[in-house]
């Protein structure tokens, strides 16, 4: 269970804008701040977002372990927060970070470089 059952620790104006899923979570995309490289997708509730905004380190909610985790506490591969933005619908968070080491739990720099899908014939060609 996430902190969604508790009152939000976020600024009330920000908390009111967020469009969370039924589980109280928002997808959070981590992107390398200087290159634009997409690193990973994690999940945040209000508490994880609050911790991310106030500590300068990305905090996520683990859906499998049902607990908060700070990126890099175990691996040393920290994400130092440079900026945080909401998308136009306020249902996704973009966290621009300075990634130290690998972002992916597999040891790869990004979670999105190992399994590129083949493109088929396109309608517009």
Do the annotations mark residue 23 as ligand-binding? no
Do the annotations mark residue 58 as ligand-binding? no
93-99 vs 79-86, strand pairing mode: antiparallel
38-44 vs 26-32, strand pairing mode: antiparallel
For the record, the structure tokens of 85 come out as: 């933005």
For the purposes of burial, counting CB atoms within 10 Å of the CB of 42, is it exposed (0-12), middle (13-18) or buried (19 or more)?
Answer: buried
Do the annotations mark residue 111 as ligand-binding? yes
Do the annotations mark residue 11 as ligand-binding? no
59-62 vs 67-70, strand pairing mode: antiparallel
Pick out the residues of the known binding site for Mg(2+). 87, 89, 91
Pick out the residues of the known binding site for Zn(2+). 88, 104, 111
Pick out the residues of the known binding site. 87-89, 91, 104, 111
């Amino acid at each position: 269970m996430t902190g969604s059952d508790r009152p939000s620790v976020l600024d009330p104006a920000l908390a009111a804008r967020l469009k969370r899923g039924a589980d109280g979570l928002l997808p959070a995309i981590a992107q390398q701040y200087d290159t634009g490289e997409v690193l990973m997708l994690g999940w945040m509730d209000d508490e994880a977002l609050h911790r991310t905004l106030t500590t300068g380190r990305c905090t996520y909610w683990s859906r499998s372990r049902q607990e908060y985790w700070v990126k890099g506490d175990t691996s040393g591969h920290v994400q130092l927060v440079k900026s945080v933005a909401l998308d136009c619908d306020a249902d996704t968070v973009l966290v621009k970070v300075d990634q130290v080491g690998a972002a992916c739990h597999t040891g790869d720099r990004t979670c999105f470089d190992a399994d590129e899908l083949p493109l088929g014939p396109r309608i517009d060609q």
